């Protein structure tokens, strides 16, 4: 009888956990829908009021080969950009929305480039290697893997 009681308890926990998961997905969907309602990704944040400051950093994962004759080299990096978009502030049970590359096409993203880059593309092995995080205060962290040939 003890086994049956324990099995029932485990079953209740699983169902309750499943319901909580469904509720979180529903809440997550509502937050995303509200963020995108009326959002125009053609307009940069703070248009007319202030300059949009985009902070960047690069994490190098591989370097080379170096071509002395062509005076160029290849580097594979994770390129991260951070900026704030007041239109994307939200309130919810989570502090950060972790999103995939599909959401990145729906919001404003900076048009950054490597000045001495000969060829720079976002890595697209099976899926684009991009990650977007939106914090409650509207700060975004956009990360992409980017192989570059630099002159």
What pTM does this model have?
A: 0.72
Which comes out higher in pLDDT, residue 37 or 23?
37
Q: Which of 73, 121, 128, 133 has its CA nearest to residue 97?
A: 133
Q: 44-65, pLDDT tens digit by residue?
A: 998 888 899 999 999 999 988 8
pLDDT in tens, 72-103: 888 888 989 999 999 999 998 889 999 988 88
Domain ranges of the chain: 38-150
Domain 38-150 sits in CATH 1.10.8.60 = no
**What average pLDDT does the structure give for the chain?**
79
């Amino acid at each position: 009888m003890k086994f049956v009681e324990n099995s029932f308890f485990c079953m209740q926990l699983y169902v309750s956990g499943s319901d909580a998961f469904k509720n979180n997905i529903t809440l997550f969907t509502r937050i995303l829908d509200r963020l995108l309602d009326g959002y125009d990704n053609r307009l940069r944040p703070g248009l007319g009021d202030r300059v949009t400051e985009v902070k960047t950093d690069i994490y190098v994962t591989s370097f080379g080969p170096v071509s002395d004759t062509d005076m160029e080299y290849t580097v594979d990096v994770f390129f991260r950009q951070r900026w704030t978009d007041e239109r994307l502030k939200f309130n919810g049970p989570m502090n950060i929305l972790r999103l995939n590359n599909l959401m990145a096409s729906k919001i404003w993203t900076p048009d950054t480039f490597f000045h001495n880059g000969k060829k720079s593309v976002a890595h697209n092995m099976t899926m684009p290697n991009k990650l977007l995080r939106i914090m409650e205060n509207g700060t975004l962290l956009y990360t992409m893997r980017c192989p570059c040939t630099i002159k």
